[in-house]
Structure 1
Amino acid sequence: MEFQFNFSINNAVEDTAGIGKMAPEVVQENESTKHKEVSSEEKQISQKSLSDCSALSQSREVTLPKKPSDPQSAKEHAMPTDVSKVLENKIMGTLPGTHCPDISVVEVAFPDPISSHSDLIPGVYEGGLKIWECTFDLLNYLSEAEIQFGHKLVLDLGCGAGLLGIAALKRNAEEVHFQDYNSSVIEEITLPNVLVNCAHQSDDDGGIIELSLTHCGGKDFNLDMLSKCRLFSGEWSEFTKLLLNSNKPLAKYDIILTSETVYNPDYYEVLHDTLSNLLGPNGCVYLASKAHYFGCGGGILLFTKFIEEKNVFKSRILKVIDKGLKRFIIEMVFKNSL
């Protein structure tokens, strides 16, 4: 099965793995600019390229909301008691070329205007329908560095397909929360992915599996694993309010995983507040990003500068992926953490 990566947001789609396609009104990357922007950050860190992958196949389209006038309200999505409506006739495949070969992904169709015009519609769609390249960078790093999730409360922030949270779940996290801006992404993509990865299913031939009720009956699920998952949608500040104002006391997160979430500088303040409000005192954020996002103006260098000015977190570069436009994995912890 083939999977689609779109390597930058809105005006440019990078082709760093040799399989991308150019979007309308592309902003071309200047070679001298590319190296100048990141030269000061070059560290003696081992570099590893991603395996080539291509288009995520289409099944049925996801309906997106109209642009709201207020921030997208947050809500928790209940786990279904009957999985037939979620998984019936779904097609899934195992992720190729990563350190997480046991993670499966269901296929999804991209609705217009997403498929033909833009990878981002601010206030309507924030990229959750596509599996972005840095997600695979972070998946690889978590495996290479043998990050431990046992007895940890984990948040997959801006989860999209939920692959990072699923990786934590499969590595014995105590509990995993998945959050995405769009409720349609949670219901149509994240939830099915969580369900298929909590099912005892495999394909001995390594091919595509069509999930049916005979394959996905309740007896086939790891119910203990499924009970560890909670799913949320909504804008970050609203999501934070939902958790902090809950009748159930919030146990703050030990680990927050997030990928491709620093593309827009307009979101840095709310992202910073979300991380500082929800991360535990000795918790850690693992964040994956490109050096720069053409068309949006954000990127890892601008975001780390923002962090320094806020003086709440300290950050360090864990890995640089130097293929095409540079990509980074960073770690963030509180300055007063042990």
Structure 2
Amino acid sequence: MTTPFSFSFAGDDIDEDEKLSLGKSSSTAERLPTTPQQQAPTSSSASAFPVQGKPLLPPLHHDLSHMLSTLPSKIAYSTLSIDLEGDRGTIQIPRRELWDVRVQLMAEEESSENVSESQPGLGEHDVKTGIYEGGFKSWESSVDLVKVLAAENVQQILDRDPCSLIELGCGTALPSLALFQWAMAARKKRAAGLGEMESSPLVLTLADYNPSVLYLVTLPNFVLAWALEKRAEIAILEEAFTVCEGELELTADVLSAFTEFLLSSQITLSFLSGAWSPEFVELLYSSSSLTASPAEATHNTKTLVIGAETIYSPFALESFTATLLSILERERRDRSSGYATAIIAAKRLYFGVGGSLDDFVDKMRALGAFVHTLREETDGVRRGVVKCLLS
């Protein structure tokens, strides 16, 4: 029997409807999903996924065209406002509503009981051992990561150099959505100012343990981000938004325009599911996801690996660290004239579960990586963001 595990966060999700403020002046300890309870959990729920010795989902690459064909006729959404630090302004990131995911699943399963059993994560548990990793919900550290990516001026390289961006444990993919929005803005600016000059290729690889997360929230969020950015330029998008406020109609023309935009903008979206493992890394590089750039640009590709809330148990930390190190080593070997780095966000300690950011840093350094702290959050839940490079 599968044992559910709950982090016992204060809220189910980072929820704009509850007027959660994510700006630098907000008190995140009171309003955001905060920290696991400090009481020791019972033995039946002490281990969050993944669990050593439990069967894990094998890695699998998902075809974008097939994923688009499974989308419902419309999706409901809200936008999350994140105040960036310094003079960088605010970014609005759209996310499919969790209740809309539930409605889709209820329609498909014909019963809310079946939905609850087959799709954990839409109920009371944040993690269900061996089944669900928490990807339907957005967590604090993903917001921290968005702020750091902006502070590190990652957006400046998105249109200048061939880029490969990999988000491990993406879930709702807030950081990757921010990068996608910045890339679209850069391409729009280039098109306006430089005419016929093409943008550099961009490959966005989104990886989550659960295929259902990729299909139900990750991909829809990218379609929403594109549609909101382009609605004033494409008539069918304006029409698709006007049927009902807070909803986007996903007509065949809308989805066709989305794929055409990706192709013309040299943006590739690639989706992988399954457990972190050597097999996962092999699939990452054997699939088309990291070979979409022209051959002449391959060795100059700038590679960034990102992850938030991915080390919440000792076994998760072990498998994530091994996978991350394998990716960085492969990038160094295959793209010697390029650049590969990782930016990882997490809580300093996951009470009652065993994972910690300090353990991750110590392990990466012991394996030969250079690790530098980019951000620390001391108010409320202690969190941090670190950069990892191979020395």
The normalised TM-score by structure 2 is 0.64
Written as runs of structure 1 = structure 2, the 5 A alignment for 1:177-326 is 177-199=205-227, 200-201=230-231, 208-213=245-250, 216-219=254-257, 222-224=261-263, 225=265, 227-237=267-277, 238-246=279-287, 254-279=303-328, 280-281=331-332, 282-310=339-367, 312-326=368-382
Written as runs of structure 1 = structure 2, the 5 A alignment for 1:58-69 is none
Written as runs of structure 1 = structure 2, the 5 A alignment for 1:115-154 is 115-147=122-154, 148-150=156-158, 151-154=162-165
Written as runs of structure 1 = structure 2, the 5 A alignment for 1:72-111 is 72-80=57-65, 83=68, 85-99=70-84, 101-109=91-99
8 A Cα contact 2:307 2:343, kept in partner:
yes
Higher mean C-alpha deviation, range 255-264 or range 163-172: 163-172
CA distance change for structure 1 residues 228 and 294 in 2, over 3 Å: closer, same or farther? same
In our comparison, the structure showing a higher alpha carbon Rg is: 2
State the superposition RMSD in angstroms: 3.4
For residue 142 of structure 1, report the CA deviation from its aligned partner: 1.2
Whose helix proportion is higher, 1 or 2? 2
Secondary structure in 2 matching 1:93: strand
| Structure-1 separation of matches of 2:320 and 2:34 | 29
CA distance change for structure 1 residues 149 and 166 in 2, over 3 Å: closer, same or farther? farther
In the alignment, which residue of structure 1 is the partner of 2:188?
A: none
| Structure-1 separation of matches of 2:72 and 2:34 | 33
The normalised TM-score by structure 1 is 0.73
Secondary structure in 2 matching 1:188: helix
| Structure-1 separation of matches of 2:389 and 2:34 | 37
8 A Cα contact 2:321 2:360, kept in partner:
no
Q: Deviations over 1:217-249 (max 9, x none)?
A: 533662335851111111011321323455898
Q: Deviations over 1:267-291 (max 9, x none)?
A: 2232122112222223110001111
CA distance change for structure 1 residues 11 and 136 in 2, over 3 Å: closer, same or farther? closer
| Structure-2 separation of matches of 1:297 and 1:149 | 36
Higher mean C-alpha deviation, range 282-291 or range 249-258: 249-258
| Structure-1 separation of matches of 2:315 and 2:67 | 40
CA distance change for structure 1 residues 27 and 192 in 2, over 3 Å: closer, same or farther? same
Alignment gaps of 5+ in structure 1: 1-8, 30-67
| Structure-1 separation of matches of 2:357 and 2:34 | 23
In the alignment, which residue of structure 1 is the partner of 2:179?
A: 168
For residue 329 of structure 1, report the CA deviation from its aligned partner: 0.9
| Structure-1 separation of matches of 2:124 and 2:78 | 27
In the alignment, which residue of structure 2 is the partner of 1:56?
A: none
Paired residue type of 1:306: K
| Structure-2 separation of matches of 1:220 and 1:308 | 42
8 A Cα contact 1:177 1:231, kept in partner:
yes
CA distance change for structure 1 residues 201 and 105 in 2, over 3 Å: closer, same or farther? farther
In the alignment, which residue of structure 2 is the partner of 1:10?
A: 6
Q: Deviations over 1:265-314 (max 9, x none)?
A: 1122321221122222231100011111112111111211222222x211
8 A Cα contact 1:255 1:284, kept in partner:
yes
CA distance change for structure 1 residues 14 and 284 in 2, over 3 Å: closer, same or farther? farther
CA distance change for structure 1 residues 170 and 126 in 2, over 3 Å: closer, same or farther? same
Which of residues 7, 16, 19 is equivalent to 2:31?
A: 19
CA distance change for structure 1 residues 323 and 14 in 2, over 3 Å: closer, same or farther? farther
Paired residue type of 2:247: E
Identity of aligned residues (%): 25
Higher mean C-alpha deviation, range 210-219 or range 255-264: 210-219
Secondary structure in 2 matching 1:143: helix
Alignment gaps of 5+ in structure 2: 12-27, 41-52, 85-89, 103-114, 184-200, 233-237, 292-297, 333-338
CA distance change for structure 1 residues 309 and 14 in 2, over 3 Å: closer, same or farther? farther
| Structure-1 separation of matches of 2:381 and 2:71 | 37
In the alignment, which residue of structure 1 is the partner of 2:16?
A: none
